[in-house]
């Protein structure tokens, strides 16, 4: 398994797309912090860029890589290797590679300009988002045999988590504005790892007042240590559930 993971990581890190992804993150991160005098403002400016780019690259690149590696996986399946080991190796290789690219691309600038607890949380959130969307892409690619449809579904999933989910939440807020639904917003946030990462970072840099009453509820829940641990647990669930489902399907899939 270790040999497969090393081979996959080496193959991915040599990819021009991955090199370009790292360079783009590096350039954007240093540029943002160079423009902003206040590190907190720099993190806030960089936050929306990271929450937009990281899930997109992670889910699209991973989906394409899985489809392009179909012949390689068929070769591995023909060997006396458990399918579970093959699939988990693909996941580990993709997750580690994308996490390393993010850590080098955005993490270096964050550590240099904002090496506080907030900066570390932002790096951890970016790495977790990379791994989460790799797991989601594996579930999509193993379920859909056609490459074009699989990539399309991956893009729709990214669009939903990055944009459409907030629109749906805003619609619910307007529809039920006369009811005390602030606590329900906490549960809804757990259904979207992108929003969960955004809320955690915004609370750390003390701009929850911009969220109104809901922000106060978020601060009360996520602002405590137990709330942070629960948020981390939810992020890990977002990794585990798609990975377990995709592994089970790959073990029984007719290649």
Mean pLDDT by 10 residues, the chain (255 residues): 86 90 93 83 84 93 92 84 90 94 91 84 92 94 89 92 82 72 73 84 64 57 71 90 92 75
Question: What per-residue confidence (pLDDT) applies to 215?
Answer: 54
Instruction: Specify the residue for token string 């240590």.
Output: 225
Question: What per-residue confidence (pLDDT) applies to 117?
Answer: 80
Q: What is the pTM of this model?
A: 0.90
Alpha-carbon distance of 32 to 95, in angstroms, equals: 26
Question: What per-residue confidence (pLDDT) applies to 167?
Answer: 81
Question: What per-residue confidence (pLDDT) applies to 236?
Answer: 93
Instruction: Specify the residue for token string 């783009």.
Output: 24
Alpha-carbon distance of 75 to 213, in angstroms, equals: 56
Question: What per-residue confidence (pLDDT) applies to 177?
Answer: 66
Alpha-carbon distance of 193 to 136, in angstroms, equals: 11
Closest C-alpha to 4, from 63, 104, 103, 84: 84
Name the residue ranges covered by the structural domains of the chain: 2-251
Alpha-carbon distance of 105 to 250, in angstroms, equals: 32
């Amino acid at each position: 398994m270790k040999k497969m993971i090393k081979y996959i990581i080496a193959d991915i890190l040599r990819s021009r797309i991955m090199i370009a992804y790292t360079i783009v993150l590096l350039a954007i991160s240093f540029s943002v912090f160079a423009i902003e005098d206040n590190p907190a403002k720099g993190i806030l400016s960089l936050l929306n860029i990271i929450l937009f780019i990281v899930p997109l690259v992670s889910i699209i690149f991973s989906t394409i890589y899985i489809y392009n590696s179909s012949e390689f996986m068929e070769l591995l399946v023909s060997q006396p290797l458990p399918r579970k080991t093959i699939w988990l190796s693909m996941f580990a290789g993709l997750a580690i590679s994308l996490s390393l690219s993010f850590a080098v691309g955005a993490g270096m600038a964050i550590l240099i300009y904002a090496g506080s607890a907030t900066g570390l949380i932002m790096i951890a959130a970016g790495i977790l988002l990379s791994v989460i969307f790799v797991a989601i892409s594996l579930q999509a690619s193993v379920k859909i045999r056609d490459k074009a449809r699989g990539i399309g579904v991956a893009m729709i999933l990214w669009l939903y988590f990055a944009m459409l989910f907030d629109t749906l939440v805003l619609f619910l807020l307007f529809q039920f504005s006369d009811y005390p639904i602030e606590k329900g917003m906490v549960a809804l946030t757990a259904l979207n790892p992108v929003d969960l990462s955004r809320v955690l970072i915004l609370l750390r840099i003390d701009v929850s007042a911009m969220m109104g009453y809901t922000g106060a509820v978020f601060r009360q829940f996520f602002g405590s240590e137990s709330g942070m641990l629960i948020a981390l647990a939810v992020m890990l669930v977002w990794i585990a559930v798609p990975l377990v489902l995709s592994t089970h399907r790959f073990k029984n899939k007719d290649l």
